[in-house]
Structure 1
């Protein structure tokens, strides 16, 4: 993936569409293709052309919406996922699920195809080999894997002369376990692109929410960041605001710029054209070493570390 033009920020579509594990259940929104078309257009105009989706997001709803925008275009990079929990016992299921994704997306290959989590690394990684050899999968990625699991996946592909090109893990100012476990350093050594997701902690680091203005109730993110947790974040938000004022940037833009300064490609969930404007601004910010240290110190002082229910510890 070294020669591919990976944009500085990738765009996520987890909250596109409704349905099981879709935008309504997770984020508390109800977005249709008509709502999202201007977002897609603004992103493409700005050069953000790598779109991250998964069959499991709204059980095909996210892919279907994205596919309605990408059909007939050849300037879009697609990042799709195989989620082991969707597989059951069918051994041919990786190819079948990939075909379903490609069909909904209206494309002939996935630029990056991810094993979504390490449910059975040996079993599922090997299934990528024929798909890479046939060209249906250009580059292989693993998501939510710890260092040992990443190395195991890499060794399975290496036996066939193939490699892991990308790792995608939860990584933010409040959750740095991929860094602490040595995964980010390993990726740099191996020329693997590290994609960081939940950089904004589902909105908690955007300064739009507080104990007085909580996240949407009845959603997963509302439960993760209740009013007590939001109160603990006030010092960090203040530090982000102060650094933001020097760069004429919002806290969301600072959180994103931090993830880029750490050598990762953030995946930002986008549902409004203003989110694209945030990405454009974040990509222009260059934080100083001191600002990075100050942000990390303020994050540590919160005592807040939010691990997703689906995540295993990284070390």
Structure 2
């Protein structure tokens, strides 16, 4: 396997996401409806790393480079940080675009190599991965991943990389209580030594307990369009069950959907913007949901009839 084993908190592996950090287009204000103070984000980074959260995820399209730049300032060359970032390809393959994006990401991040680098969408998989091959061979990309993919896409990537004496390191897809159709892919990845990362495990806050039909997302935000008031009404029963489980264990409600994802064999990517969120996550990871609780949450989520899908997702 490619190097992907730097320390993470407790025995449960998670990755910290930074989509909400950057102020640029496709960043904090447009997607989440709010901006975050750089000093608060620095404090968040410092608190999280002190708690043992050393795996960090970002992407070139998050804030159109602003998230990478900010994270690079915080990392400042630290060698204990496991860094994951991504290239979002155009529909039509353009020779050299993958390599150019990688180099620009490394410049913004102030790094020479990426522990994990992603093809952010399954477009021209073989052609784009052909540019990853020399970068992997010279050590600039330590592990390669593909995101927003089907089982067929995974096998295409595996076959191409194997021909070049390399291995697919990771898959990253949308997976949550409200997007629970990934188990076959999760099981396949785990059987093949491919790490499966789940993003939007809290559905951008819809499952976190701070929002509901009366107090929903900021009006002028993409997450409000993706999860309007009518959907919050459909998940009232699920939120109530999540709250009851959280109260039982003495943890924040936002942590229950994360523990559910871990129970399915996936590695959750969790966006945090305040030090207290890192503290809540650290406390929750000491716990494991009972099988009965996992089953009840799954059944209650299914009753909502909701299957969340991002506008960028191919399926």
Q: Normalization by structure 1: what TM-score?
A: 0.95
How far off is 1:75 after superposition? Answer: 0.9
Once the two structures are TM-superposed, the CA of residue 190 in structure 1 deviates from its matched residue by 0.2
List per-residue Cα deviations over 1:227-282 (Å, max 9, x = no partner). Answer: 11001000001111111122112221111111111111100111111210121122
| Structure 2 counterpart of 1:4 | 5
Q: Which residue is 1:269 aligned to?
A: 271
The answer for the alignment partner of 1:220 in structure 2 is 222
Alignment of 1:106-125 (within 5 A): 106-125=110-129
Compute the displacement of 1:33 (Å).
2.5
Change (3 A) 1:193 1:98: same
Deviation at residue 31 of structure 1 after TM alignment: 2.2
RMSD: 1.4
More displaced 10-residue stretch of structure 1: 271-280 or 186-195:
271-280
Measured in 1, the distance between the counterparts of 2:247 and 2:119 equals 39
Q: Which of the numbers 162, 165, 175 marks the counterpart of 2:166?
A: 162
Equivalents in 1 of 2:181, 2:3: separation in Å?
A: 25
Alpha-carbon distance change, 3 to 267 in structure 1, aligned in 2, over 3 angstroms: closer
Q: Is the 8 A contact 1:17 1:32 kept in 2?
A: no
Equivalent residues of 1:46, 1:280 under 8 A apart: yes
Partner of 1:184: 186
1:144 aligns with one of 145, 148, 151: 148
Residue 84 of structure 2 corresponds to which residue in structure 1?
Answer: 79
SS in 2 for 1:95: helix
- The residue aligned with 1:287 is 289
Deviates further, 278-287 or 193-202: 278-287
Any idea what the Cα deviations from partners look like across 1:71-117, whole Å, max 9, x if unmatched? 131111100101103x9754112111111111111111000000001
* Equivalent position SS for 1:51: strand
In the alignment, structure 1 segments of 5+ residues that lack a partner are none
Q: Hey, what's the Cα distance between the residues in 2 that align with 1:251 and 1:312?
A: 31
Distance, in Å, in 1 between the alignment partners of 2:256 and 2:230 is 23
Residue 66 (1) aligns with residue 71 (2)? yes
Number of matched pairs: 310
Provide the rounded CA distance (Å) in 2 between the counterparts of 1:265 and 1:222.
26
- Ranges of 4+ aligned residues in structure 1 off by more than 4 Å: none
Cα deviations across residues 18-58 of structure 1 (Å, max 9, x unaligned)?
A: 11111111011222432210000001001101110011111
Q: Is the 8 A contact 1:2 1:191 kept in 2?
A: no
Q: What is the Cα deviation at residue 3 of structure 1?
A: 6.2
Alignment of 1:191-210 (within 5 A): 191-210=193-212
Tell me, which stretches of 5 or more residues in structure 2 are unaligned? none
